[in-house]
């Protein structure tokens, strides 16, 4: 890509011959060609990164209020973090682990359900297959939280029968999330499954392998990367969900970080600001690490039709 | 289901290599059986639990799912179903059923004051409208508890001990212990001590125990946990006519068809009950009662979604073109920094921006604008501008990534051909790259539109839908989009209207699906053009 033969307009001059004027013109040309791109890059990067720097700075600032957070990186203290983890009325550590549990569990279970379905769509032929695939694509238009009222009422009803699966329980929340497991992710996985040569399983079949053996010992080993990517996408989505979690979890002890942190500053925004920022840093950290790790895969995934 | 299908008589090439279920390895059979057995045990428990709590619909659905699972896994053949069912069960219950239930709820008045059935509502109305029967005898009482439920142990005027709770009318007990002629305790129940009584004062005074199964006989209530009196409802319920009659004034309250008893003058008795209200929620949603604000909300939802997708796409593409220059150094660093907003959880960055844009203390006003007092989030117009700009901040990295990928996928020879023909950089972009870019990204643009249309987190975290508009009947503020209205109607504030919220959800459903279908059709024709 970098070596197309069209002659560029920038003349190649020996550096030794360059006069001051020429150097200036050189800078002008350099600026016209690539320099302005750096200006754009620096400005955009600043805007992109500023709020994040602000959070980190505030989380380490001595003043825990909104007012006192406007001087970036002037002070350093861990007070906000200590305050964050030591308030029994707002059990942040619990929230953090709740988020971890719900996201991890949902991610693993979703990947499992998705893989089974993608295998069926990719390798088996049955009536309703095309319609099924089409439905999966369409469901991405409708986020699960559109039915949040019905989800709430459904969990009330389930909770009456089995309290440990109802409102205010993490398993109940996981169940709800799993309702969205077969969706666009299955479609992404289906596309990936299709890239694995069908001859492989045909050969195994002739050798007498059953469908279960083909699935677990051949296909699953080859689709590892997409399983990881989809697991991470689900994790990121669940860890960032506020709507459903806030409706399902009202007891502070059972809340996820999203719900808990929102509750923490929805009333006293100014006073709890520093503590909130500390919580935000700790909550965002695992998600951002996962995201940066997956982003190169996500670009390809995006092209198969995924949204955030 | 136990009968094996007849052996296939014809063999197509695919059938010949299809794994025969009679040859399934033992391990597979054992694992399947164990797993299904575990699911069965749980399923039976679920069915019983639903049945025990009188939730017949739940019991039936759980039983049906259970049967489907057993049939699927113990029958020969039907291989696709075996792989699809696990995910499908969750999809059916928590997605499909949820949609159907939303539609159903949108035709009811479910919500505050309407969340019980009619017979429960009758009981509550009768219980709430009681007066002490004049001149009736006092019943000395003790308050007992068992399994978290409070009971009244009353000593009747004839000296017998009777016990009952809110849901259970008085019954005579024979093994009560008396203290000074007053029944004080019953084996199996705990008598509440004074501190316990004080701690539960409100629950105790609210406790009303039916004297007999017929509610018109009256209720026993106590104000001081020592003596109880018989209270009788002013209202008399006639099951035959389905009316409530005030025995003092003679006013008749009849079922008004909207889940309430009402008299001719529109006075209703609370609470009401869940009832079908036909299209009335939709009528309210579209401003039948003179509140046309919802049309404004719909228009703003469209504007917000379009603007944020368009601006994010424009900025993202501009950056992609800018950095799609092989000679530029440090592209990788810019790239990583610029996708950070996208990696940061939206609910957090929304809250952080709300702090940054705070009028009095926020960084933007205080530091960047030198102490200005610009009401970024509290002025209706500025608030709209702010949410769009912040959503662009979230969204541009996505389109930067997407457009970068799409630009690199454009074949080099087309671009060379254009350059040979003397195209300028702008012409190259406008006539070659942009059209190709649009073709490959248009499905993503549609998906992004659908996403922005329901971008709850940005709006709710940044402004909470505000600035609030006190004249709004549906509690919609200046930046509220449809999905935040749904959430606020159902879960924020004291009065919850699940019915109306569901109607709004159904409206969103229709809008998004119509647009998606139309746009997807058009992109197909777009692809054919190029």
% chain A with pLDDT above 70: 84
User: What pLDDT is recorded for position B291?
Assistant: 65
The residue of chain A nearest to residue B484, with distances taken between CA atoms, is: A243
Range of the domain at B520: 293-529
The torsion defined by the Cα of B400, B402, B404 and B410, in degrees rounded to 10, comes to: -150
The torsion defined by the Cα of A42, A43, A47 and A53, in degrees rounded to 10, comes to: 40
**Residue among B171, B155, B181 nearest B163 (CA):** B171
Helices (H), chain A: 20-30, 36-59, 79-86, 92-123, 129-139, 148-161, 170-178, 184-194, 198-206, 211-213, 220-222, 224-239, 243-248, 257-267, 273-303
Burial A92-131, CB ≥16 within 10 A → b, else e: bebbbebbeebbbbbbebbbbbbbbbbbbbbbbeeeeeee
Q: Does B345 contact A at CB distance below 8 Å? A: yes
User: What pLDDT is recorded for position B390?
Assistant: 94
Contact flag B80-A307 (C-beta cutoff 8 Å): no
Contact flag A65-B361 (C-beta cutoff 8 Å): yes
User: What pLDDT is recorded for position B9?
Assistant: 42
User: What pLDDT is recorded for position B180?
Assistant: 77
Q: How far apart are CA B119 and CA B110, in angstroms?
A: 15
Q: How far apart are CA B324 and CA B140, in angstroms?
A: 88
For the record, the structure tokens of B486 come out as 């749904």
Q: Which of A96-105, A229-238, B200-209 has the lowest mean pLDDT?
A: B200-209
* Residue B209 phi, psi (nearest 5): -105, 120
Long-range contacts of A40-46 (CB under 8 A, 24+ apart): A40/B318, A40/B319, A40/B322, A41/B322, A41/B323, A41/B330, A41/B334, A41/B338, A44/B319, A44/B334, A44/B338, A45/B334, A45/B337, A45/B338
Q: How far apart are CA B140 and CA B14, in angstroms?
A: 84
B480 and B488 Cβ atoms separated by less than 8 Å? yes
B247 and B238 Cβ atoms separated by less than 8 Å? no
How confident is the model over A78-83, as a mean pLDDT?
Answer: 89
User: What pLDDT is recorded for position A300?
Assistant: 56
Q: CB count, 10 Å around CB of B26? A: 7
Nearest to A141 among B398, B487, B513 (CB): B513
Q: Does B466 contact A at CB distance below 8 Å? A: no
Strand partners, A79: none
User: What pLDDT is recorded for position A21?
Assistant: 53
Q: How far apart are CA A39 and CA A33, in angstroms?
A: 12
Q: Which of A17-26, A36-45, A189-198 has the lowest mean pLDDT?
A: A17-26
- Banded pLDDT at A97 (limits 50, 70, 90): very high
Number of domains in chain B: 3
Residue B153 falls inside a structural domain: yes
Strand partners, B140: B227
Nearest to B349 among A51, A215, A292 (CB): A51
Length of chain A: 308
B69 shares its domain with B215: no
SS3 call for B212:
coil
Q: How far apart are CA B348 and CA A95, in angstroms?
A: 15
List of chain A residues whose C-beta atoms are within 8 Å of the C-beta of residue B354:
269
Count of CA atoms in the C-beta half-sphere (13 A) of B477: 20
B216 shares its domain with B302: no
Q: How far apart are CA B297 and CA B305, in angstroms?
A: 12
Q: How far apart are CA B299 and CA B430, in angstroms?
A: 31
Gyration radius (Cα) of chain B, Å: 34
Contact flag B352-A140 (C-beta cutoff 8 Å): no
Nearest to B80 among A66, A124, A139 (CB): A124
SS3 call for B37:
helix
End-of-domain residue from the set B56, B78, B106: B106
Contact flag A66-B512 (C-beta cutoff 8 Å): no
A233 and A301 Cβ atoms separated by less than 8 Å? yes
User: What pLDDT is recorded for position B340?
Assistant: 87
For the record, the structure tokens of B458 come out as 């940005």
Nearest to A143 among B105, B345, B454 (CB): B454
> Domain A87-303 carries which CATH code?
1.10.3720.10
* Nearest chain A Cα distance for residue B3, angstroms: 22
Q: How far apart are CA B111 and CA B105, in angstroms?
A: 10
Residue appearing with tokens 């682990």: A97
Strands B252-255 and B261-262: antiparallel
Distances (CA, A) of B460 to B102, B347, B509: 22, 9, 20
Distances (CA, A) of B427 to A2, A105, B317: 21, 51, 16
**Residue ranges per domain, chain A?**
21-81, 87-303
Q: How far apart are CA B59 and CA B61, in angstroms?
A: 6
**Residue among A235, A100, A56 nearest B348 (CA):** A56
Q: How far apart are CA B433 and CA B427, in angstroms?
A: 9
Predicted model pTM: 0.80
Q: How far apart are CA B314 and CA B165, in angstroms?
A: 67
Contact flag B90-A178 (C-beta cutoff 8 Å): yes
B102 shares its domain with B123: no
Distances (CA, A) of A209 to A190, B22, B23, B523: 22, 13, 10, 43
Contact flag A37-B325 (C-beta cutoff 8 Å): yes
User: What pLDDT is recorded for position B65?
Assistant: 93
If contacts are CB pairs under 8 Å, which of residues 351-390 in chain B contact chain A? 351-356, 358, 360-363, 366-367
B133 shares its domain with B246: yes
B309 shares its domain with B225: no
List of chain B residues whose C-beta atoms are within 8 Å of the C-beta of residue A270:
361
User: What pLDDT is recorded for position B17?
Assistant: 44
CA geometry: angle at B43 spanning B38 and B48, to 5°? 135
A185 and B80 Cβ atoms separated by less than 8 Å? no
Q: Which of A62-66, A236-240, B490-494, B526-530 has the lowest mean pLDDT?
A: B526-530
Burial A273-293, CB ≥16 within 10 A → b, else e: bbbbbbbbbbbbebbbebbee
Residue B8 falls inside a structural domain: no
User: What pLDDT is recorded for position A11?
Assistant: 41
B357 shares its domain with B498: yes
List of chain B residues whose C-beta atoms are within 8 Å of the C-beta of residue A261:
347-348, 351
B223 shares its domain with B180: yes
Strands B171-173 and B252-255: unpaired
User: What pLDDT is recorded for position B228?
Assistant: 83
Query: Tens-digit pLDDT profile for chain B (530 aa)?
Result: 344 444 444 444 444 444 444 456 788 888 889 999 999 999 999 999 999 888 888 899 999 999 999 999 888 888 889 899 988 898 888 888 888 899 999 998 888 778 777 777 787 777 777 777 777 778 888 888 887 788 888 888 877 888 888 878 888 888 888 877 788 888 888 888 888 888 888 788 778 888 877 777 778 888 787 888 888 777 778 777 778 787 777 777 877 777 778 777 777 777 778 888 888 888 888 876 666 678 888 899 999 999 999 999 999 999 998 888 887 888 888 888 888 888 889 899 999 999 899 888 888 888 888 878 888 888 889 999 999 999 999 899 889 988 888 888 888 888 889 889 888 888 888 888 898 888 888 878 888 888 899 999 999 999 888 787 777 767 778 899 999 989 988 888 778 889 989 999 999 988 888 887 887 777 665 555 44
User: What pLDDT is recorded for position A299?
Assistant: 59
Q: How far apart are CA B267 and CA B41, in angstroms?
A: 52
B442 and B524 Cβ atoms separated by less than 8 Å? no
Long-range contacts of B180-184 (CB under 8 A, 24+ apart): B181/B155, B182/B140, B182/B142, B182/B155, B183/B140, B183/B142, B183/B153, B183/B154, B183/B155, B184/B142, B184/B153
Nearest to A283 among B94, B348, B393 (CB): B348
A220 and A201 Cβ atoms separated by less than 8 Å? no
B209 and B169 Cβ atoms separated by less than 8 Å? yes
Strands B130-132 and B227-233: antiparallel
Q: What is the separation, in whole angstroms, between the first and last Cα of chain B?
A: 53
Residue B190 falls inside a structural domain: yes
Count of CA atoms in the C-beta half-sphere (13 A) of B524: 6
A306 and A184 Cβ atoms separated by less than 8 Å? yes
Residue B129 falls inside a structural domain: yes
* Nearest chain A Cα distance for residue B11, angstroms: 15
List of chain A residues whose C-beta atoms are within 8 Å of the C-beta of residue B61:
none
B462 shares its domain with B404: yes
> Under 8 Å CB-to-CB from A100, ≥6 apart: which residues?
A286
**Residue among A67, A80, A62, A91 nearest A269 (CA):** A67
Q: How far apart are CA B146 and CA B187, in angstroms?
A: 10
User: What pLDDT is recorded for position B205?
Assistant: 79
A308 and B342 Cβ atoms separated by less than 8 Å? yes
Over residues A201-221, the pLDDT tens digits come to: 889 888 888 888 888 888 888
């Amino acid at each position: 890509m970098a070596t197309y033969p069209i002659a560029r307009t920038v003349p190649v001059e020996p550096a030794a011959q360059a006069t001051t004027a020429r150097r200036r013109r050189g800078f002008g040309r350099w600026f016209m060609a690539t320099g302005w791109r750096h200006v754009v890059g620096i400005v955009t990067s600043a805007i992109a990164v500023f709020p994040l720097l602000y959070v980190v700075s505030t989380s380490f600032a001595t003043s825990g209020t909104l007012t006192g957070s406007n001087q970036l990186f002037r002070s350093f203290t861990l007070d906000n973090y200590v305050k964050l983890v030591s308030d029994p009325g707002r059990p942040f550590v619990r929230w953090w682990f709740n988020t971890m549990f719900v996201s991890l569990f949902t991610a693993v279970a979703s990947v499992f359900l998705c893989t089974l379905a993608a295998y069926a769509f990719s390798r088996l032929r049955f009536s309703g297959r095309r319609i099924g695939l089409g439905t999966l694509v369409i469901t991405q238009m409708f986020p699960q939280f559109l039915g949040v009222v019905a989800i709430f009422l459904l969990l009330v009803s389930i909770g009456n029968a089995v309290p440990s699966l109802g409102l205010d329980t993490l398993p109940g929340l996981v169940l709800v999330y799993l309702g969205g497991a077969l969706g666009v992710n299955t479609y992404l996985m289906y596309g990936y499954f299709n890239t694995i040569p069908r001859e492989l399983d045909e050969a195994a079949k002739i050798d007498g392998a059953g469908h279960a053996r083909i699935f677990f010992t051949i296909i699953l080993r080859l689709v590892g990367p997409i399983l990881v990517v989809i697991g991470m996408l689900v994790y990121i989505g669940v860890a960032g969900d506020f709507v459903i979690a806030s409706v399902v979890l009202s007891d502070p002890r059972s809340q996820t970080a999203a719900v808990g942190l929102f509750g923490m500053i929805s009333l006293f925004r100014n006073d709890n600001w520093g503590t909130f920022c500390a919580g935000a840093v700790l909550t965002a950290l695992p998600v951002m690490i996962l995201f940066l790790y997956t982003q190169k895969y996500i670009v390809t995934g995006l092209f198969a039709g995924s949204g955030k | 289901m136990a009968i094996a299908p007849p052996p296939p008589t014809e063999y197509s090439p695919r059938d010949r290599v299809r794994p025969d279920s009679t040859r399934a390895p033992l391990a597979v059979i054992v694992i399947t059986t164990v797993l299904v057995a575990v699911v069965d045990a749980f399923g039976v428990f679920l069915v019983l639990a639903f049945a025990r709590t009188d939730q017949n619909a739940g019991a039936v659905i759980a039983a049906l799912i259970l049967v489907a699972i057993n049939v699927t896994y113990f029958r020969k053949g039907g291989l696709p179903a075996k792989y699809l069912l696990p995910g499908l069960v969750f999809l059916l219950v928590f997605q499909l059923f949820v949609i159907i239930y939303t539609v159903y709820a949108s035709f009811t008045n479910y919500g505050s004051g309407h969340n019980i059935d009619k017979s429960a509502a009758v009981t509550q109305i009768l219980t709430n409208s009681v007066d002490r029967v004049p001149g009736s005898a006092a019943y000395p009482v003790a308050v007992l508890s068992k399994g978290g439920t409070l009971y009244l142990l009353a000593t009747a005027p004839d000296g017998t001990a009777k016990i009952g709770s809110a849901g259970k009318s008085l019954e005579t007990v024979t093994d009560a212990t008396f203290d000074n002629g007053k029944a004080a305790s019953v084996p199996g129940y705990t008598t509440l001590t004074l501190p316990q009584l004080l701690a539960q004062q409100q629950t105790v005074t609210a406790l009303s125990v039916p004297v007999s199964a017929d509610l018109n006989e009256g209720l026993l209530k106590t104000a001081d946990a020592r003596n109880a009196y018989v209270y009788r409802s002013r209202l008399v319920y006639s099951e035959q006519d389905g009316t409530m009659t005030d025995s003092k004034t003679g006013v008749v309250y009849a079922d008004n068809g909207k889940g309430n008893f009402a008299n001719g003058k529109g006075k209703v008795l609370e609470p009401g009950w869940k009832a079908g209200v036909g299209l009335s929620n939709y009528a309210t949603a579209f401003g039948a009662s003179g509140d046309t604000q919802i049309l404004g909300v719909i228009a703003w939802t469209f504007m917000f979604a379009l603007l944020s997708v368009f601006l994010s796409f424009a900025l993202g593409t501009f950056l992609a073109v800018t950095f799609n220059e092989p000679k530029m150094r440090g592209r990788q660093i810019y790239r990583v920094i610029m996708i950070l907003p996208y990696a940061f959880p939206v609910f957090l960055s929304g809250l952080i921006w709300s702090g940054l844009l705070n009028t009095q203390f926020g960084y933007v006003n205080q530091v960047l604008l030198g102490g200005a007092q610009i009401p970024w989030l509290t002025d209706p117009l500025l608030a709209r501008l702010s949410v769009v700009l912040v959503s662009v901040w979230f969204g541009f990295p996505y389109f930067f990534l997407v457009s970068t990928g799409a630009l690199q996928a454009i074949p080099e020879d087309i671009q060379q051909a254009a350059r040979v023909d003397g195209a300028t950089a702008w012409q190259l972009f406008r006539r070659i790259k942009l059209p190709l870019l649009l073709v490959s990204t248009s499905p993503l643009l549609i998906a992004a539109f659908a996403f922005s249309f329901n971008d709850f987190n940005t709006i709710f975290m940044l402004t909470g839908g505000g600035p609030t508009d006190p004249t709004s009947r549906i509690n919609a503020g200046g930046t509220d989009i449809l999905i935040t209205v749904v959430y606020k109607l159902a879960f924020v504030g004291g009065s919850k209207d699940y019915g109306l919220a569901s109607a709004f959800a159904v409206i969103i459903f229709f809008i998004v699906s119509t647009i998606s279908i139309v746009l997807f059709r058009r992109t197909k024709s777009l692809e054919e053009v190029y």
